[in-house]
Amino acid sequence: MLVNAAVARSTQSFPPAVGRGLPAGDMAPLDRLGTLVDVARDATLFYEGDLADHLYRVVSGAIRLCKVLPDGRRQLAAFFLPGDLVGLDLGSSHSFAAEAITDSVVLKLPRQRVETLVGENPRLGRALLSLAVERLVAAQSQMVLLGRKNATERLASFLLGLIERTGQAASDRPTLTLTMTRADIADYLGLTIETVSRTFARLKQLNAIALPHPQRVVVRDRELLEELAEEAD
């Protein structure tokens, strides 16, 4: 991983955290602690079991949190988009690995300095606690999604979540650029790649979405997508 000097000059233009519990104003003190680092596509930011001595804020690109199961299967636990904070583990080591989905830039933050800053800045401490609670709620929702929902419900719920996270909740026709692959989505939703592809096709046939490009989704009928996220086959 190499620091990109050209990007380093743009530290004042970081995107705000979208729906992740940390407004841009709360992130400003953290931004001043960090070092910008390039992470190439599919490169590992940290491995499962590594010492959790840094946090990372995504500046551009996207990061996936993953675990390889004993039988070789991969489970993705989360996707981190620009503005999101990665590596907020409660323990001293990381319980998952983090990998770049695309060429990405992250702000590397020394955990010890962050903890010192939290002690000096109660507002930041409250914001990080709020983020930790939000992550817990998200993990619980993911358990319900994997345990109770069918393929259509899972994919519809996933797309609706991306709409919220990309700040398009009020848009009549949200457009999503998917940085993650079909394989990533499958491993996140507990499905096969073939099932994910078929489900995208089904949503398109129902006119809930349009797919002008495999990585671009235009939501045509938000209400229908919401109904599909909740209805059983």
pLDDT of 76: 93
Rg of the chain in Å (alpha carbons): 18
Classify residue 197 as exposed, middle or buried by CB count within 10 Å of its CB (0-12, 13-18, 19+).
middle
Nearest to 118 by CA among 37, 22, 20, 19: 22
Nearest to 139 by CA among 78, 188, 181, 92: 78
Domains and CATH numbers, the chain: 5-146 (2.60.120.10), 149-230 (1.10.10.10)
Residue, of 153 and 233, whose pLDDT is higher: 153
pLDDT band of residue 55 (cuts 50, 70, 90) is very high
pLDDT digits (tens, 9 = 90+) for 148-203: 789 999 999 999 999 988 889 888 899 999 999 999 999 999 999 999 999 999 99
37-51, 57-71, 112-126: range with lowest mean pLDDT:
112-126
The pTM score is 0.81
Name the helix (H) or strand (E) containing 64: strand 63-68
- Distance, in Å, from the CA atom of 46 to the CA atom of 93, rounded to the nearest integer, reads 10
pLDDT of 16: 35
DSSP state of 101: S
pLDDT of 231: 67
Residue 1 has pLDDT above 80, yes or no: no
